[in-house]
Amino acid sequence: MLENNLVIDGVVHAFNFKADNIRQPFMQGVVQMLHDFTANQIHPQGDPRYQISLEEFQDSFDLQPDLMETMLFGESHTDVIVYHGVPMYGLFGDGSSPIWVAEKIREKFPHRVGIYADLSPLLDDPIAHIDKMVDEKKVIGFKFYPADVVEGKIRPVRMDNEKEVWPLVEHAQNRGVKVIAVHKAVPLGPISKTFQAVDDMGAIIKAFPDIQFEIVHGGFAFADETARLLAEYENVWVNLETNPCFAVNMGDKFADMMEPLLDVGAHERLIYGTGATGAHPQPPLHAFWDFEMPDGYSPMTKEMKRGMLGANFARLHGWDVEAIKAACRADAYGLENKTIAEPYGLVRSLRDGTTPLRMP
């Protein structure tokens, strides 16, 4: 909790970037780029506590689910996580973010974990997949990605595809799912930026007015177009995943990401997210909370940020914030005045040969 605010990280991943999970040779370069981006651009500069090697970054999946649990709940002020599966099975053998990691943590802390399952029309039987995710995995949403590689060819997944995508959204809705998230803006390796645009969103948003659509990474690119959707449709939400990380070292860039979204006056439909464990969640959380928009930009007040940090997401899903606080307060991590552990403690314990951290 941060200054009495329940902190909900709207997107977390346990990325499996291990070499034996990579299915396309170019993705090794993407993994190296992501490590460089994390270590040299969005983590606190000059602080060795936030520096891990490429090998440690790439092989960190071996430490899951303990790494995610300790990083989010033990090493940061994050209280609740929303785990997103990733359906890029042509790039990574398990899609890159398998939901079993979140399931393991949810078994211990059901009040701290929500899960969005991956979804794609490129799956062998996506309807059966929806049913399994709802019935067995108890997911609270689904997540589409704009492309994958199938039999060596890049295949787009456009949300205006009435034949392949819309029946999946309709079936999910019929199964009681109310939220559909869509990855946008952030590139997926050497795949055309046109796949990350939001020009395919308007038709499906209008076709399913009772579905709430989260545009994930909104503002990172195509910010004006995303803001127009946010202004026009009441069932559009913007998940800021990754964007708050820029507040640590690149405040001007973060301000430019936020300005179009704030300018349309729909801050109550903006959701905080970091994409941890790709990056450590603690620095962006505090940078976001302390950030002030520059002169001449739309304001981002503490009250607005309180909503983005948790209240907005809780309202989206009908969660009882006070009940969640009470449950967190009673568990092994606690809530108020908890001691924040040093970052990457589990990684460092293996590096240094010290005693591994004990899970609560």
41 by Cβ neighbours in 10 Å (0-12 / 13-18 / 19+) ranks as middle
**Long-range interactions of 331-335: CB distance < 8 A, separation 24+:** 331/109, 331/111, 331/112, 331/360, 332/360, 333/73, 333/74, 333/109, 333/360, 335/1, 335/79
Nearest to 194 by CA among 156, 164, 251: 156
pLDDT at 351: 83
pLDDT at 300: 98
Q: Is the pLDDT at 72 greater than 70, yes or no?
A: yes
Reported confidence tier of residue 355, pLDDT bands at 50, 70, 90:
low
Q: What is the pLDDT of residues 182-206, one digit of tens each?
A: 999 998 877 788 889 999 999 999 9
What is the Rg, in whole angstroms, of the alpha carbon atoms belonging to the chain?
19
Beta-carbon count within 10 A of 3 CB: 11
Tokens (6 digits) for 227: 């803001």
The pTM of the full predicted model, rounded to 2 decimals, is 0.97
Q: Where are the alpha helices (DSSP H) in the chain?
A: 26-37, 54-58, 66-69, 100-108, 126-135, 166-174, 201-207, 223-232, 246-249, 251-263, 282-290, 302-306, 312-317, 321-330, 345-352
Tokens (6 digits) for 4: 């009495």
pLDDT at 225: 98
Residue range 83-110: mean pLDDT, rounded:
97
Beta-carbon count within 10 A of 246 CB: 24
Tokens (6 digits) for 263: 């300018």
Q: What's phi and psi for 147, nearest 5 deg? A: -165, 160
Q: Tokens 């946010």 correspond to what residue?
A: 230
pLDDT at 352: 81
Q: Is the pLDDT at 299 greater than 90, yes or no?
A: yes
52-56, 109-113, 150-154, 196-200: range with lowest mean pLDDT: 150-154
CATH numbers and ranges of domains, the chain: 8-352 (3.20.20.140)
Rounded CA-CA distance 17/57 in Å is 8
Rounded CA-CA distance 60/57 in Å is 5
Question: Strand 113-118 relative to strand 80-84: parallel, antiparallel, unpaired?
Answer: parallel
pLDDT at 188: 82
Report the helix count and the strand count for the chain, using DSSP H and E. 15, 10
Q: What is the pLDDT of residues 7-60, one digit of tens each?
A: 999 999 999 999 999 999 999 999 999 999 999 999 999 999 999 999 999 999
What's the whole-number average pLDDT of the chain?
A: 96
